[in-house]
Amino acid sequence: MTSKKAEYGFATRAIHHGYNPLDYHGALNPPVFLTSTYAFASAQAGSDIFAGEAQGYVYSRVGNPTVSVLEARLAELEGGEAALATSSGVGALTAVIWTLLKSGDEIVADQMLYGCTFGLLEHHIRRFGVETRFADLTEPANLKKALGPKTRMVFTETPSNPNMRIVDIAAIAEICRKAGVPFVVDNTYCTPYLQRPLALGADIVTHSATKYLGGHGDLIAGAVVASKEMINQFRFAGVKELNGACISAFDAFLILRGLKTLSLRMERHSATAEKLARDLEAHPAVEHVYYPGLDSHPQKQVARRQMKLMGGMIALELRGGLDAGRAFMDGVELATRAVSLGDAETLIQHPASMTHVTYTPDERARHGFTDGLIRISVGLEDYEDLRADLIGALDRMGR
């Protein structure tokens, strides 16, 4: 199944798209091309490929046959023309930023982002003469106020890491389109199975493929999906000459393996998280649960419109604040205390001191998340076991 077959469903395309075993001795799985460089048939053949006058691989920082299968599949699943796989989610974002922006330009970003993305946009990028204006993009009118003549990129996650705010992708895309500014959505939390930002009007999708796309906590990788023209720029400027964040063929293979079960995993993560969010919300020790499937979530209607299911991530605050949150983390036995997300194992962590430690206490207050917030990446274990572990830990704290 090498050609685009629009009539096939998501799961079928996640298993087959972009690879025909008969092209590779019938091998069911794509071979892992562990090679840095590629032989040219002649001096002329080599220079033709370099000049873009002939097709072919030259060096694995720029392209690799295993990686190409992954890129074709990710582009197909996100509904984009092309994709670029990278060595990390941060590598995907910096490939986009270093390519699109120059000194003097501005970015408008949602106020709540993964900690290292915030660190890049708030603390580091200013050294290169690029300013980021943060705005609460859950209210699209705020974007109009933040846009200026120097804005060259609008960036958001949705749901936002860690506190699960939902940004209306179609509404923000419409404003960006009118302003002529590329709109970039980090789709890590949803994956294309739950949400397809390009179909809603976004221009560029980025991923930390480390998370649900890989799905097994055994690799670090990223991806960008966009038009062919943009992906060419991100590949030949962003990765080839600016950040060098090329993915290894072996990690590309592992992500292709992960994608085969993506739809099943996202269904299960979402179903279990929905139930656990309700259980947690009903517990007397819990002050608030942030999950877009709950009636208490302020953007639940936008979430239902743009997400197929509500995903596997939950954030919560306990009545006892930070101390209670830490005691809860120490009280669980099945859930693993660890950062990252989207794995088979349920992971629990404390954003203010871990993934989001890049926000100073003052920035945490201004950008809207509390010291006591606890984040849970709901895994694929049995719901009853997770319920017993999490609710049991809360019950024990009350004693």
- Residues binding ligand 4LM (CB under 6 A): 88-90, 114, 117, 157, 161, 186, 188, 208, 210, 220, 222, 339-341, 355
Question: Are 369 and 352 within 8 A, CB to CB?
Answer: yes
Establish whether 291 is a catalytic residue.
Answer: no
Min. distance of Cβ 210 from ligand 4LM in angstroms? 4
Query: Which residue out of 114, 212, 291, 359 is catalytically annotated?
Result: 114
Nearer to ligand 4LM, 13 or 312 (CB): 312
Clarify whether 371 is annotated catalytic: no
Give the Cα separation of 389 and 254 in Å (integer): 30
3-state helix, strand, coil in the chain (%, to 5): 45, 15, 40
76 or 343: CB nearest ligand 4LM? 343
Give the residue with the Cβ less far from ligand 4LM, 188 or 270: 188
Q: For the CA atoms of the chain, what is the radius of gyration?
A: 21
Q: Which of 207, 321, 224, 217 is nearest to 265 (CA)?
A: 217
Kindly state the smallest distance separating residue 349's Cβ from ligand 4LM, in Å: 7
Candidates 211, 235, 268, 375; catalytic one: 211
Nearer to ligand 4LM, 315 or 390 (CB): 315
CA 215 → CA 152, 193, 260, 262, 306, distances in Å?
Answer: 33, 13, 10, 8, 22
CB of 221 to ligand 4LM, least distance (A): 6
- Complex with ligand 4LM: residue 251 or 317, whichever CB lies closer: 251
Q: Is 186 a catalytic residue?
A: yes
Active site residue 211: yes
DSSP alpha helix (H) spans, 154-227: 169-179, 191-194
CA distance 225 to 158: 16
Residue nearest to ligand 4LM (CB): 89
Annotated catalytic residue within 73, 133, 165, 186: 186
Three-state DSSP at 314 gives strand
Shortest distance (Å) from residue 192 CB to ligand 4LM: 15
Indicate the residue among 285 and 312 with the shorter CB distance to ligand 4LM: 312
Question: Which residues does residue 255 pair with via DSSP β-bridges, in sequence order?
Answer: none
Give the nearer residue to ligand 4LM in terms of CB position, either 231 or 341. Answer: 341
**Alpha carbons 114 and 357: distance in angstroms, whole number:** 10
Cα separation, 195 vs 199, whole angstroms? 9
Q: Judge contact between 316 and 289, C-beta under 8 A.
A: yes
Between the CA of residue 72 and those of 1, 201, 311, 359, what are the distances in Å? 12, 21, 25, 36
Crossing angle for the helix pair 249-259 and 65-78, nearest 10 degrees? 40
Number of H helices, E strands in the chain: 15, 12
Catalytic positions, written as ranges: 61, 114, 186, 211
